[in-house]
């Protein structure tokens, strides 16, 4: 049975529910569910509000009550088929008498996957979407999906640089290379991650607080984990050690060890902020997935490069990120967003 117009509209509604204000970005995926009767009318809807709360399907079923019997459940993520903090959504759907389930994204988590097969085996009609609606569902939980599939957090590297590629002047000063609009945007970007990572050198040189603040410079309610990487001790007075957010000091220089430690803490999206040597280590290890570069209309001619030696000695070996967005911010800074694919991936994609 092909997806109806009412079901496609319900997918969009379920995606909007999943992204409701206040729903955390992790560690659980954001999920929405809409229940339709035989005429395509909504009889219940729900969404997951975070770890330990009712899943979207259960939330919608409770709101629908007896109207759920014979209904179609439209969900943004395949119903789970395991018992965790809550029971399996497959069994809740079967107990409610749902006759059809439309799934926008298959669950990539092997622990929870298999819901579609379980429902089919019980006689429920299941349709797995592809195309644009499936892409939207995947984008809803991009970092969570990446972390589940790759076994490590998604890494976004942020750097602020001058037109000639400097992150600091020759005397070490760098405040401020980028403008106020860029700095506000960085706080927005930090708020999309669940871990902000810098090296000990950045802490010792700049003493950043690494919190997320709103447009009025007030700390937001939810703060990412602050992560300092490196072997050197930090002074007790370092702002990154204050009580504004949780902080962990990982005494290693190995990016693989950093990501393994953060994955063990259920972190899915790392916002890598510096400095040049730490960023280069992640790039050399092939562990940077996305770049966000704020380029200020400034020329220095000398100073600290935005990234340290990458071991590239010839133009043929240059890394060529795939630009996905270019935006001119208020004040003249340019934000460039690009995907950094593993070596050879771009050539294979174009072949």
Active site residue ranges: 57
Residues making up the annotated binding site for Zn(2+) are 55, 80, 89
Calculate the CA 4 to chain-centre distance.
31
DSSP string, 303-329: SEESS---S--SGGG----EEEEEEEP
β partners of residue 312: none
Question: Which run of H or E residues covers position 254?
Answer: none
Calculate the CA 149 to chain-centre distance.
13
Say if residues 244 and 211 touch (Cβ distance below 8 Å): yes
User: How far is Cα 227 from Cα 240, in angstroms, rounded to an integer?
Assistant: 9
Say if residues 72 and 45 touch (Cβ distance below 8 Å): no
Residues making up the annotated binding site are 55, 80, 89, 160, 174, 176, 190, 202, 206, 210, 213, 273, 275-281
What are the start-end ranges of the E strands in the chain? Answer: 32-36, 42-47, 72-75, 100-103, 125-128, 154-162, 166-168, 195-199, 225-229, 247-250, 269-274, 290-296, 304-305, 322-328, 334-339
DSSP 105: S
Residues making up the annotated binding site for substrate are 174, 190, 206, 210, 213, 273
β partners of residue 213: 219
């Amino acid at each position: 049975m092909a997806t109806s117009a009412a079901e496609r509209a319900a997918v969009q509604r379920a995606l909007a529910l999943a992204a409701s204000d206040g729903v955390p970005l992790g560690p659980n995926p954001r999920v929405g569910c809409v229940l339709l009767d035989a005429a395509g009318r909504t009889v219940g809807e729900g969404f997951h509000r975070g770890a330990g709360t009712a899943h979207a399907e259960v939330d919608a079923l409770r709101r629908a009550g007896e109207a759920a019997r014979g209904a179609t459940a439209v969900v943004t993520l395949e119903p789970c088929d395991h018992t965790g903090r809550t029971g399996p959504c497959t069994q809740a759907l079967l107990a409610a008498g749902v006759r059809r389930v439309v799934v926008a994204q298959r669950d990539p988590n092997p622990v929870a996957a298999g819901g579609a097969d379980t429902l089919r085996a019980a006689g429920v009609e299941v349709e797995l979407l592809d195309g644009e609606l499936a892409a939207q569902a995947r984008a809803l939980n991009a970092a969570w999906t990446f972390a589940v599939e790759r076994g490590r957090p998604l890494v976004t590297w942020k750097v602020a640089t001058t037109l000639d590629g400097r992150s600091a002047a020759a005397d070490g000063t760098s405040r401020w290379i980028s403008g106020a609009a860029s700095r506000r945007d960085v706080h927005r970007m930090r708020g999309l991650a669940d871990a902000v990572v810098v090296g000990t050198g950045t802490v010792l040189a700049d003493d950043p607080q690494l919190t997320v603040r709103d447009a009025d410079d007030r700390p937001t309610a939810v703060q990412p984990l602050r992560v300092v990487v490196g072997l050197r001790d930090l002074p007790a007075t370092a702002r990154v050690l204050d009580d504004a957010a949780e902080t962990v000091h990982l005494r290693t220089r190995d990016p693989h060890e950093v990501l393994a430690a953060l994955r063990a803490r259920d972190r899915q999206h790392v916002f890598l902020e510096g400095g040049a040597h730490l960023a280069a280590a992640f790039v050399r290890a092939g562990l940077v997935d996305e770049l966000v570069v704020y380029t200020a209309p400034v020329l220095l001619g000398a100073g600290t490069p935005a990234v340290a030696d990458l071991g590239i000695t010839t133009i043929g070996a240059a890394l060529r990120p795939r630009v996905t967005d270019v935006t001119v911010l208020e004040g003249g800074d340019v934000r460039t967003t690009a995907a950094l694919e593993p070596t050879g991936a771009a050539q294979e994609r174009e072949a």
